[in-house]
Chains A and B, each alone.
Chain A
Amino acid sequence: MIDFELEPQVVNQLKMYHLAAAQLMRPISREFDEREHSEPRAFWEAMWTASQNLGEPADAKPRAGEGASRLRNLNTCLSVEELCWGDAGLFLSIPGGGLGGAAVAAAGTAEQRERFLRRFREGQPKWGAMAITEPGCGSDSAAITTTATRDGDHWVINGTKIFCTAGQMAAEKSEGFVVVWATVDRQAGRAGIKPFVVEHHTPGMTVVRVENKLGIRASDTAMIVFENCRVPADHLLGSAEVKRDGGFKDVMATFDATRPIVAAMAIGVGRAALDFVRDFLAQNNIPVRYGISPRRLTALERDFMEMEVQLKAARLLTWRAAWMLDMGKRNNLEASMAKAKAGKAVTQITQKAVELLGPVGYSRKELVEKWMRDAKINDIFEGTQQINLMIVARRILDYSSRELN
């Protein structure tokens, strides 16, 4: 039966996340935006300790097949919204498996999941990262040029990866790992692309640059060069066999799980801006009147209502996509719908918030301008707006990637 009500224990859990966002993230939000590339160590320690106590991975990111709760992916989206309401950049910097962990969960065997993910439940803070994008290919991830060549019981990886979230923390500053997507067979195209776990400090893996960005500055975005980087054969996630629709399907499986989360991130940032505007209007005794003729609304009321309903629409699409994953349903279409909607809606919501607040919105004294900068990434990473529209279009038209591209 259709139901949109969260269970009481979920609501309670969210209050905890909200508290963490309000007390641990908001107060340092501006500082780590201004001091890009510095490390919020105390915050990381607090989040790591909290997650160890909870027995949950620190970043609250999904691990398919390890689910304790029936609605694990949905609950993840809910907590991610709260944390990104606090600060999206800091959220991305939280120690844990990250996208690398998600890739292991999606593409790895049960043994590999245990072997590689165990570290996030014990010891010191650690990071996982995923390296897929290259200087010459972003959205067209099937055009990857990084190679993995078999040499005895090792794979030898060569290539350059960019835009690797938490790459520096995973590769050089903790006992983490980077999941690198590389081709084992250029002739095979997509089918030849495979994920490899490269352990921290593996010789031949070097972080050569950390990017300066528009927003989410608390999160490090690394360029990593692999030069004759040798990893054991059993670090290839899943099967080494090159078959049609094999390798790339794993990338897609990862995205089906992570796109709702990125949508939830966007929604958290959008809600931060919306809450700010709502409070601002209330403080200035500007009413928002629901139920009256739309022709009698002020421009301000219309703008605010539009922001509010767009955020809600994005949230409902996101919940649906995550819920489907929890129910074991294929959510490829719905995940891209949610991501496309949330990325665009929140970009517009935060931009409108700056506009409505005037100089207050534009000033770095408040966080609204930061949220506008932070929001934009959600319309780009984990599949740009356009890539997600493409996926939606293929699904609704029943076209393959060859028929519609």
Chain B
Amino acid sequence: MINFELDDDQKLIRETVAAFAAEQIRPAARAADESGVIPPELVAKGHELGLVRGAIPEAYGGYGDARSAVTGAIVMEELAWGDLAIAVHLLAPRLLVTPLIEAGGAPLQQRWLPPLAQDQFVAATAALNEPRFDFDPAAMKTVARREGQDFVLSGVKCCVPLAQESSALLVYASGGSEGFDAVEGFVIGRETPGLEISPREENMGLKGVATYTLTLNDCRVDRSARLGGESGLNFTRLLSESRVAIAAMAVGVARAAFEYARDYARERKAFGVPIATKQAIAFMLAEMAIEIDAARLLVWEAAARLDKGENGLKESYQARNYAAQAALTVTDNAVQVLGGHGYIREHPVEMWLRNARGFAVLEGLATV
């Protein structure tokens, strides 16, 4: 039956993560953007929230929490509200954990999950995006060629968070033909021969988190590294989970910018009155609020489908595209509401605009 209310657990989770985002993440956001460094103490504290360990089965040292895309979306929104780069850093290991839980098969899970379930944050990641304007997950240029018992991976991946720091990386590649069914995943070690990791990428936004370009020069991997073993993986679902996560983060960034602009507009005076009392500003804020709520509902709708076991390809695609556009529009409007001050790095809105531009561009940056 239709219901728009979070359950009690979700409310508690949201409160907890929101408090962490406000008290720990937000104050560190600007410094991370400027310096490119996220303090290890912050990462350690974030890890204590169970963002990575939560979903790992107890058998492998995790908490074995029930997984829910809706709950995940709520967590993502709050973390990204704090700061997108820090959120992506904290969540990067999930890029490996979620596919392993969904499709890994016991041997791969046995090997890679226990290290990630530890008390300390251990980096892990996945490589999906490719450095092309028309990157399409259904038509990847990175390919996996079968050679006897092995697979040989070749291609270039980009925007891979924490690749240099990770001991294990999940690489998505096309098994040959086009389409989502042809996509394969391989969990490879950092030291795999032929794997080349670039110096840190320099991007417009997301500057706090280290991302890298990976070049796979005929990397030979054992077939045991193949996600899902002989049966392969449900890539459509993994992609949808990733898109829902990105969409939820877009909502978080948009909300951060909206709230900042709203509060600024109530304080800032022009012509003797707060600028928020002028319709030109008030209507912008109203439209921002509407778009944020609309985007969030689309995210939740897609997430609810995933929780019912559907692949949610269309819905998560809709949510991602809509939320990405909403985030861009809202952050741009936030800069506009602040006027010249919005353009100055003393205020965070310019950073949120730079970060928001990434949502339509980046695939596979996070997952629920």
Contact = CB atoms under 8 A, between A and B. Distances in A.
Contacts of B289: 337, 392, 396
Nearest to B277: A404
Interface stretch (B30-38, B44-52, B200-208, B317-325): B317-325
B282 A397 contact: yes
Query: Do most interface residues of chain A lie in helix, strand or loop, or is the interface mixed?
Result: helix
A3 B2 contact: yes
Interface in B5-44: 5-7, 10
B180 interface: yes
B111 interface: no
A397 B318 contact: no
Interface stretch (A273-281, A305-313, A368-376): A305-313
B287 interface: yes
Nearest to B314: A290
Given A7-B1, A397-B285, A403-B277, A295 B134 contact: yes
B4 interface: yes
A232 to B, nearest CB: 42
Contacts of A323: 2-4
Interface string B124-141: 000000000111111100
B135 A293 contact: yes
A323 B300 CA distance: 16
Query: Do most interface residues of chain B lie in helix, strand or loop, or is the interface mixed?
Result: helix
Nearest to A289: B138
B183 to A, nearest CB: 12
A334 B294 CA distance: 11
B298 interface: yes
B301 A316 contact: yes
Interface residues of B, number: 49
Given A291-B180, A390-B279, A3 B286 contact: no
Given A316-B301, A386-B283, 18 more contacts: A1-B5, A2-B3, A2-B6, A4-B300, A4-B301, A6-B2, A7-B1, A291-B314, A309-B298, A317-B297, A323-B4, A341-B290, A389-B283, A390-B279, A397-B265, A399-B277, A399-B282, A404-B277
Interface of B: 1-7, 10, 70, 133-139, 180, 236, 239, 262, 265-266, 276-277, 279, 282-283, 285-287, 289-290, 293-295, 297-298, 300-301, 303-304, 308, 313-314, 317-318, 321-322, 360
22 contacts: A2-B5, A2-B7, A3-B1, A4-B300, A4-B301, A290-B318, A292-B138, A295-B133, A296-B136, A312-B298, A312-B301, A316-B294, A317-B293, A319-B4, A324-B4, A340-B286, A386-B283, A392-B286, A392-B289, A397-B262, A397-B266, A397-B282
Interface of A: 1-7, 71, 74, 290-296, 305, 308-309, 312-314, 316-317, 319-320, 323-324, 327, 334, 337, 340-341, 386, 389-390, 392-393, 396-397, 399, 403-404
